[in-house]
Chains A and B, each alone.
Chain A
């Protein structure tokens, strides 16, 4: 087995644009779930509408910048529509609504009657040319050290993606250190108590849902731009599940948790992936046992096991505070 290449594959995937997009999306989910306590189980839908809002705009002849603005607005609108009927009710209404809406949106987008707009299951391609025309690096050139190299094209998406991730970390940090953030945390602790102190809890929850949704929308756009492709089946419910894993792994309600969670998760996930591919090639009986389809399942099982171990030994996540986790909610 080639340990060096396994390690390098893991690192390359970890620093790549997909991890940046997951980290950004997790920043949005962390604002909603980690800070405001909102059970948004359809976060992938925000990524979908962001990506499609952008892709459709460009597909219809609009400039990319307009597509990005529209993508953000559509994601915020989705947050508004999901929150308006549910956020005055018990927390589980939002959970049920978001999980159902996310699947419904994906199915509508891939349906044949949405084809004039979304191109159905085939999706939309090639909408990010103007993004790549801004790329200062020769796209085919290789950058890096030794065998740890990426193309100029990848490097461009990576730099933009991680810069945006850093920007959102800064914005969320600023928000959560402000009195606004204090009200958001108070709502997570006890909505009635916060109401009794004269705060419009509904409005704050709606704001958190919409801002977190907009951040998720941006994450969807980065994924789409990286692949120059949006297809409905890239937005399956398990993406939301993975985002929860990332947020909890990194430490829900911490500023850098989503970044740390995304990096650690992606590194483990892709190292295991590379490990299994290698094992399949090198060890006969492993190759027979682990068909590519089975390998995918085994990876998810390992993720689940990892989460269980984490919950037992470090329920507050990597960056969460133990003291905070030990406070029982009375």
Chain B
């Protein structure tokens, strides 16, 4: 990042305010039985960035995603998208408001074709209502959606699979499809839960290009990743979680040197590697 970037002046400390946050969470808490899975005082995500969310297994990253996108309900707390409160908003509504998530375990719609996977994600098709379905008049929208889907599939290298069942794709191709499908909704914020997991190394680089491409296209990307090299390479900002809390945040270079992070997270791996 260049020094003129708006994030250049943001201090690398947990809960720090950012110049133009698209997503803000306050005092967000979720426990399972006695286990405090998420306990966040304050967190902001800067618009038009790739923000990585890292932390050891069980740190609460997926739970945080679930809370923010309405797939789970917090015990306490509130959060906003573009200033609009999201407390009590159903998951499908959150998606329609422009914050779309993918899943850690890929969820392709197996017995739908790749093209249908894409089309089902398109917004505002009047044929999706019962009345519209029976009376017709949705074919023009459908054609426009198909064109857009084809473009996206081409970008993700899946166009030759358009008429195959999604269940027949490889694991990596399904990750790609899930990402392309999310983009069909024209989201403002894209939340990717471990998009690289299980993807073969040959595909990783193209996935990374897609992620930075999203930011360059004016979207905000929050993504969970384990590989520190990957995080260093593409993040504008890194948020580190451990035991439900945000223990550090900052630009990737600062995070790599952060003592608390090395202890809580990197220490494990680096320690293992050293012995």
Contact = CB atoms under 8 A, between A and B. Distances in A.
A87 B92 CA distance: 15
A61 interface: no
A194 interface: yes
Contacts of B95: 195-198
A155 B82 CA distance: 66
Contact of A327 (B102, B110, B130, B133): B110
A163 B125 CA distance: 32
Interface string B106-127: 1111111000100111010101
Given A178-B138, A198-B96, A189 B165 contact: no
Contacts of B111: 185, 188-189, 324, 327, 329
Q: How large is the interface on A (under 10, 10 to 19, 20 to 34, 35 or more residues)?
A: 20 to 34
A197 B181 contact: yes
Nearest to B71: A192
Given A197-B95, A199-B120, A190 B133 contact: no
A201 B168 contact: no
Interface residues of B, number: 41
Contacts of A323: 165
Contacts of A194: 109, 120
Contacts of B47: none
Nearest to B116: A182
B103 A171 contact: no
A328 B171 CA distance: 13
B238 interface: no
A66 interface: no
Interface in A298-330: 323-324, 327-330
B71 A195 contact: yes
Contact of A180 (B92, B101, B132): B132
Contacts of A193: 103, 107-109
B109 A186 contact: yes
B120 A197 contact: yes
Interface in B40-73: 69, 71
7 contacts: A175-B130, A186-B116, A196-B91, A196-B102, A327-B110, A329-B167, A330-B106
Interface of B: 69, 71, 90-93, 95-96, 100-103, 106-112, 116, 119-121, 123, 125, 127-130, 132-134, 138, 142, 165, 167-168, 181-182, 184-185
Given A193-B107, A194-B120, A198-B92, 16 more contacts: A174-B134, A181-B133, A185-B109, A186-B120, A189-B111, A190-B107, A196-B69, A197-B181, A198-B95, A201-B92, A207-B130, A324-B165, A327-B110, A329-B110, A330-B108, A330-B167
